[in-house]
Every structure is written in C-alpha cells, then in structure tokens.
Structure 1
C-alpha cells in the first residue's frame, strides 16, 4: 500500500516506518494524522512484525504540525453558517485534538515495541510522537524543542502526560516554558534519549541490530514486558504486582520458556509463536 507521508517496509519481523516528505521537513499534514494510526494498527492487529522502527528522511526528523492546515482545526464539519461555525468551533477543536492524540496513543497501545530514530530537528508535534515510542535514539545533530510555546500555544497532543513520566519535572518545565532547543547529548543526560550516534546511517544500522535482537525474543514475553511496564508507569506498586501475577497466571507459557532455554543452549534462534492477530482488525 502506498502512503502520502510514509514508506513502510517489513523484513525479518521488523517493520520500518519512514516519514517520507523530506521536501516538507516531514511536517504533520492532515494525511499524516490518518496514515500513522492506520499503519501502526495494520502491523499490530495483523501481527505482521515483532518490532516497529520509526525513522525519517532528509535533514530533519519532523518540523511538527503543518501550520498551513492549523486554521481549519476549529471548523465544524458541514457547517451551516457563520454563527453555527462560531458556536461549534470549540467542540470542533476538541474533537480534532482527540483525533490527533489518538494517532500517537496507538503507538503507546501497540502490542509491539516501537523504537524511534531521530535526526536533525524534532520539533513541536515531533516531541509528542517520540515520547509515545518505547525507546528513543538520536544523531549528534539532533535536537528537540517544545516549539508550541514559541508560537503562543500549549502543547496538547501528548508531550506533557508522557514527558513527565520519562524525565524529571524540572527538565520538562524548562523545556516547556522556554521552548528552547535541547541537543541530543543533553537529552541523553536527561534520560530522554537512550543513545546518540555520529550520523543517521550509523544510527539506523545500530537501531536495526537492537530491533533484530528484540525480534529474536519470544513475542508473547516481549508483549508482556511492554504491557507490565506501561501499567506500572500508570499505577502504584501494589496494583502492578497484582496485575503481573494475574497476567502470568493466564499468559505464561511453559513451552516458550523451554524453547528459549534450549535455543540458548544450542546457540540458535528460538522457534517462538507470534502474537495472534487481533480481533480489533477490520
């Protein structure tokens, strides 16, 4: 399937999703918000891979929201007249933001680990995107900025609820209040970036090795890890311990454990079952 904003390749259980509008600095136009969740859900629900890698093209990862399309976000669908438009504009804006948030929520909700490789600028909505991913990598020239502050907005697509759970609150507030550029090495010091590489080619090669390592593990176990980590992030220790006990009581498979142990002993890839296709599909 072809997309306006993305290129998708699936090989060796790794789905590579590439932002593919470098001439537009991969800004997030209306098509972006529809295509991204459709792609993620298709891979996840159809169990087409075991790990997803998101990367980009051109000098910048993404310039964030396409501001030329922003003017229409308060327009109600099928507006009757100017008075109706004015009265419904707030609700229309709210609905639009929920749809945009959903485009990144699907990454957080995805059963598969999602890795992101960032080069150049990761601006505005780009920060919303990468904070929804499981693991973040960057090039030396990469930088992040909560740019919305600089144009009189408060970031609303996912940055703050996720960023405050990734790095100390003081860093979040400084980034938000100033809208300044945070370089890759500083972001790594904060704990937001896992590793920094000299250039995009080196980064992608390394990230694909990490993705292949993840893809070699039992998918049911990796899914459980993501589910438990995300649950623990949002709940207290007592609830999280109880949930993981219940999870393993229903999901732990002795056959998969035995296969992993034998495969490690025999120094061969494990023969693991894939995640089932989701009933959400279609």
Structure 2
C-alpha cells in the first residue's frame, strides 16, 4: 500500500488523513485501490464505530491526479473493440472507491478545509456528515478540464443540493464557499480553522461511538434506504429491520448508561471474516 494517506485510531474512532500535501492531495492511481481497501479493513473489524476523513496541507483535495488519466485510459489501440469495456470497468472500480463510504456499517465524517475540487467532492458527498472550515470551497472542477464528472458527483450531489444549483455548479465549475454550502445543507457546520474542524469531527465521532453500534448502523441503513425509496417502502424496511435486529438487552443497556452516566456495554458490530475462518 502506498503512502496516499495515514490512519490513526483512538479507541473506537479512526481518522484517515490524506497525506500528499506536496501534490495538493491529488488522488493518484494507487489511491483508488488503497482507499477502499483501507475503509473496508476498518469497517470489518467491529472495533471501529466511526471514521473521520481529513487531510494535511493547505487544502483538502485537488481532485484526481491528472497522471491517473493515462493509467485509466491505457493504450486503447492494443485492446481494439474491447477498449470501451476496459474503460467502463476501470471507471466502475473508481466509482466503487467512494461507494464503500456509503456502504460502511459505521458513520463517516468529512473534515474539510480549504479547497475541495473534482473527485474530492465525490468523496465528501459519499460521507454521512460534512464539516468545513470557513475558508472551504467546493467545485465540480471537471468542466474546467473538458470532461464530465463520472466518479459519483451528480447522483450524490443531487442528494444534498437543489437540481438547478447542481446544474450551475456543473456547467460553470464555480466555487461554492463554506457559508453557501452551509445554507444549502451540503455541510452541517462551519468552523474557524483546520485544527478546529478536525477536532469537531473527532468529537462528533467520539459521541457517536458512545451509542449502541447496532442502533447507529440501523440508522445509517434506514436513512440511506429511505432517501432512495418511497415512504411506504422505507417504513416497511425499517419495520423489518427492527423486527429482526431490535434486542431488549440493548434498550436496557442504553437506559442504564443514561442513568449512571457511564459508557454502555453494547454489543459490537460483528467482525467480518472469511466463511471458512474459525469462529465466524
């Protein structure tokens, strides 16, 4: 695994920090394989209850590293008629890089500072919660380099912003500042400094980590399902979820924790293991 980012854990909270400051945290080819593998590894342990995505350097992310385009496109002449399929499959893998954030069992919080461009927008819109510094700015930057964003911008940005505004951002590539992003709901809160936003994200993650992991996971599943389905379908889904997952012992543990002020001893999310591993 290449050093595209670092990972630190503090009890049940993991912080993944983009760490190519000298390249403005542009996302090189190894990132698209290493990042989803790292998120899935954190998620499968059962010990991590929330993940924070942050970045080093003067800005959060400059988008895809332009050198990555050559690697994705490859030498199409060698593939002949199969070249389009090869390209589509590679793009699908890149789209999967951020889909793992939505599919993670635990909440993912983005702590954004400075500019967040292109694929950086794809990344943060796949997170559950977004916090930003007052100097943060977001841009669907792909239009400036003559391409249509294809790694997740439009389906996810439309979950957070009005369609007309998404069209404006896509067609012009203009920057949306933190206050505008807050006003429209793209970010939850705005903080003064880089240090402040990371601290706030980690505090929020620690707060989430005190709650019952199964209940938090159920909330994430239910909210995502409800966003993508009709109300009746979502109500049925939530009813079935609680019919199968709700455990009276978790309710009693939560009540005892609230009364005592001590952390609740909740059931952990199950560790994801191979089917042929002992104890699975």
TM-score (norm 2): 0.95
In structure 1, the partner of 2:29 is 30
Q: Cα deviations across residues 194-246 of structure 1 (Å, max 9, x unaligned)?
A: 01111111111111111110000000000000000000011100000001000
In structure 2, the partner of 1:223 is 217
**SS of aligned partner of 2:52:** strand
Q: Does 1:176 align with 2:175?
A: no
Q: Cα deviations across residues 121-179 of structure 1 (Å, max 9, x unaligned)?
A: 10000000000000001111110000001111111101111111112111111111111
**C-alpha distance 156-52 of structure 1, shift in aligned 2 (>3 A):** same
In structure 1, the partner of 2:5 is 6
Q: Which runs of 4+ in 1 moved over 6 A?
A: none
Distance 1:198 1:85 in 2: 51
**SS of aligned partner of 1:278:** coil
Contact 1:45 1:280 in 2 (8 A): no
Aligned-residue offset at 1:64 = 0.5
Superposition CA RMSD, Å: 1.5
Contact 2:29 2:71 in 1 (8 A): no
TM-score (norm 1): 0.94
Distance 2:106 2:262 in 1: 23
Q: Does 1:251 align with 2:245?
A: yes
Distance 2:257 2:186 in 1: 34
Aligned-residue offset at 1:88 = 2.8
**SS of aligned partner of 1:65:** coil
Distance 1:158 1:247 in 2: 28
Mind listing any 5+ residue stretches in structure 1 that lack a counterpart? none
Is 163-172 or 218-227 further displaced after alignment?
Answer: 163-172
